[in-house]
């Protein structure tokens, strides 16, 4: 980790808007003010509500959050997988110079699987139970490559071998249920990588797996990234996975970005109380056993009734330090240190103090 402050972090909010007007950005992937809302009978569900980030080839962005934070909705939004009839998507998604939100459904479809691909959480339910693993990889390859079935089959076998499946020429004709969980996830990765995508989105790729298998899969993703130089978005609730794999980290809460920083900064100098809460909530093996965990009180808000002001305010242990601002006013995501952004009303010095004196020693 030579470069702790990646240069690709976006500029301040002011310039960002100018940048949006200026058109295509230089970054490989840039998401600007992405909003994904779902109208329902109960009200408008604001699953993602103004999210911006950037990612370069060869680098990994970890998006962390609890269930309902909008992290998976974001990933599906980038791939254009939301049904346009029941989702309202706005903002901009620039992938290698092309804007995706305004593009036609067919144009986005042609990019899916070829330029951007996705690995899903549960490989058993994410693969079709009635088709062989090979068939599903061949299908993925042949949508975007005009080759014969034999050539595609050869490619599928190669891919299965590459992701570490023993005897790929035999396993290619097996059905997903004949694979073990880890092998299925490898096959899923082989399928996602079959067209050599430049952007790979991994949505909780190891959550359904055992810990030793998780380690294998994380190693595999890391190795494949080196080989293909792909940009990776790693979506997870597990801070350990992010720490192992990511260059940058984006902490989401209630559809918005709470903190966005280089991974070193986020873990060692976090500037948002929610990030502190996440770190304090998890028991860790790399420290002395703490007598007590420090959970965040309460539960995440409903996305229909996100609190006014700071969405985290009702659960925040330090909300009194903002003179009521956190109830009245939504905090902007500000760059507080080079490449380190957080959306919080508590004075910066006070936050540093709390982290250093109250939180960090207890972790």
Partner 1 sequence: MVAFIVRRLLGAVGLLLIISAVTFSIFFLVPRAAGVSSDDLAGRFAGKQPDAVTLAAIKDRFGFDDPIPVQYGKYIKAIVVGDTYDTGTEKIDCPAPCMGYSFRTNQPVFDQIVDRTPITLMIALGAAVMWVLAGVSIGVLSALRRGTIFDRMAMAVALAGVSLPVFFTGLLSLAFVVHKWELLPEVNYGGLGDNPFNLLLPWICLAFLYAALYARLTRAGMLETMNEDYIRTARAKGLSEKTVVVKHGLRASLTPIMTVFGLDLGLLLGGAIITEKTFSIPGLGQLALDGVNQSDLPVVLGATMVAALFIVLANLVVDILYGVVDPRVRHS
Partner 2 sequence: MTGTGGNDGGNGIVSTSKNAAGADEPGTVTGGAPVVTTVKEPRPARDGEPLLEVENLGKHFPVTAGLLRRQVAAVKAVDGVSFSVRKGETLGLVGESGCGKSTTGRMIMRLLDPSFGKIKFEGQDITGLSQGRLRPLRRDFQMIFQDPYSSLNPRKTVGSIVGAPFRLQSIETEQGVKKAVQELLELVGLNPEHYNRYPHEFSGGQRQRIGIARTLALRPKLIVADEPVSALDVSVQAQVVNLMEDLQDELDLTYVVIAHDLSVVRHISDRVAVMYLGKIVEIADRADLYERPMHPYTNALLSAVPVPDPSLRGDRTRIRLQGDVPSPLDPPPACRFHTRCWKAQDICKQVEPPLVELSPGHQAACHFPENASVSATDEVAKAAVAPAAASAEDGTPGG
- Under the rule (CB under 8 A), what is the footprint of partner 1? 76, 79, 81, 109-114, 117-118, 120, 122, 125-130, 139-140, 143-144, 175, 177-178, 191
Question: Please, which residue, 5 or 110, has the CB nearer to partner 1?
Answer: 110
The structure tokens listed for 141 are 């390859």
Scanning 163-296, the segments in alpha helix (DSSP H) are: 168-171, 181-192, 211-228, 239-245, 263-268, 273-281
Is 308 one of the binding residues for partner 2 (CB under 8 A)? no
Is 86 one of the binding residues for partner 2 (CB under 8 A)? no
| Interface pick for partner 2 out of 139, 158, 216, 318 (rule CB under 8 A) | 216
Tell me the C-alpha distance between 84 and 104, whole Å. Answer: 11
Q: Which entry of partner 2, partner 1, none binds 21, CB below 5 to 8 A by partner kind?
A: none
| Shortest distance (Å) from residue 70 CB to partner 1 | 17
Is 261 one of the binding residues for partner 2 (CB under 8 A)? no
Question: Could you tell me if 172 and 205 are in contact, meaning their C-beta atoms sit under 8 angstroms apart?
Answer: no
Nearest CA among 204, 344, 331 for reference residue 270: 344
Nearest CA among 8, 46, 11 for reference residue 256: 46
For 249, phi and psi rounded to 5 degrees?
-135, 140
Question: Could you tell me if 200 and 231 are in contact, meaning their C-beta atoms sit under 8 angstroms apart?
Answer: yes
Tell me the C-alpha distance between 93 and 201, whole Å. Answer: 14
Nearest CA among 332, 293, 298 for reference residue 315: 298
Tell me the C-alpha distance between 71 and 256, whole Å. Answer: 9
| Shortest distance (Å) from residue 316 CB to partner 2 | 12
Is 244 one of the binding residues for partner 2 (CB under 8 A)? yes
Question: Please, which residue, 9 or 133, has the CB nearer to partner 1?
Answer: 133
| Shortest distance (Å) from residue 92 CB to partner 2 | 30
Q: Which entry of partner 1, partner 2, none binds 125, CB below 5 to 8 A by partner kind?
A: partner 1
Q: Which helix (H) or strand (E) holds 75?
A: helix 71-78
Q: Which entry of partner 1, partner 2, none binds 126, CB below 5 to 8 A by partner kind?
A: partner 1
CB proximity list for 250: less than 8 A, separation 6 or greater: 53, 61, 62, 63, 64, 257, 259, 260
Is 239 one of the binding residues for partner 2 (CB under 8 A)? yes
The 166-185 site mask, x for binding partner 2 (CB under 8 A), equals x-------------xxxx--
Q: Which entry of partner 1, partner 2, none binds 36, CB below 5 to 8 A by partner kind?
A: none
| Shortest distance (Å) from residue 201 CB to partner 1 | 9
Region binding partner 2 by CB under 8 A among candidate stretches 122-130, 191-199, 284-292, 321-329: 284-292
Q: Is the CA virtual torsion 194, 200, 204, 207 positive or negative?
A: positive
With CB under 8 A, what is the number of residues at the site for partner 2? 50
| Interface pick for partner 2 out of 38, 131, 175, 267 (rule CB under 8 A) | 267
Question: Please, which residue, 124 or 317, has the CB nearer to partner 1?
Answer: 124
Question: Please, which residue, 25 or 176, has the CB nearer to partner 1?
Answer: 176
| Interface pick for partner 2 out of 187, 278, 316, 354 (rule CB under 8 A) | 278
Q: Which helix (H) or strand (E) holds 105?
A: helix 105-111
β partners of residue 253: 256
Nearest CA among 260, 233, 243 for reference residue 76: 233
> Which residues contact partner 2 by CB under 8 A?
1, 66-67, 166, 180-183, 210-216, 218-219, 237-244, 246, 263-264, 267-268, 277-286, 289-290, 292-297, 299-300
């Amino acid at each position: 980790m030579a470069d702790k402050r990646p240069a690709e972090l976006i500029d301040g909010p002011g310039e960002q808007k100018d940048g949006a007007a200026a058109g295509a950005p230089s970054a490989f992937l840039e998401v600007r003010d992405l909003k994904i809302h779902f109208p329902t009978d109960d009200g408008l569900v604001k699953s993602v509500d103004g999210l911006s980030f950037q990612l370069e080839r060869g680098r990994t962005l970890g998006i962390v959050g609890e269930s309902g934070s909008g992290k998976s909705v974001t990933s599906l939004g980038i791939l254009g997988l939301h049904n346009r009839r029941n989702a309202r998507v706005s903002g901009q998604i620039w992938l290698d110079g092309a804007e995706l939100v305004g593009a036609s459904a067919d144009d986005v479809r042609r990019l899916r699987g070829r330029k951007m691909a996705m690995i899903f959480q549960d490989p058993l339910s994410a693969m079709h139970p009635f088709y062989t693993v090979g068939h599903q990889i061949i299908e993925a390859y042949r949508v975007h490559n005009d080759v014969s079935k034999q050539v595609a089959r050869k490619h599928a076998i190669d891919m299965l071998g590459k992701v570490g499946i023993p005897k790929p020429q035999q396993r290619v004709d097996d059905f997903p249920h004949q694979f073990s969980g880890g092998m299925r996830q490898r096959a899923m990765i082989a399928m996602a990588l079959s067209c050599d995508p430049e952007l790979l989105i991994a949505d909780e790729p190891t959550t359904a797996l055992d810990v030793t298998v998780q380690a294998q899969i994380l190693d595999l993703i890391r190795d494949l990234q080196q080989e293909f130089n792909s940009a990776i978005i790693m979506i997870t609730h597990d801070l350990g996975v992010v720490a192992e794999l990511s260059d940058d980290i984006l902490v989401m809460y209630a559809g918005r970005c709470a903190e966005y920083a280089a991974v070193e900064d986020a873990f060692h100098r976090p500037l948002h109380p929610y990030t502190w809460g996440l770190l304090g909530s998890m028991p860790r093996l790399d420290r002395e056993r703490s007598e007590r965990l420090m959970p965040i009180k309460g539960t995440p808000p409903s996305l229909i009734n996100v609190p006014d002001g700071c969405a985290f305010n009702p659960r925040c242990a330090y909300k009194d330090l903002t003179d009521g601002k956190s109830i009245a006013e939504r905090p902007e995501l500000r760059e507080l240190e080079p490449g380190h952004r957080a959306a919080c009303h508590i004075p910066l010095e006070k936050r540093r103090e709390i982290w250093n004196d109250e939180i960090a020693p207890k972790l």
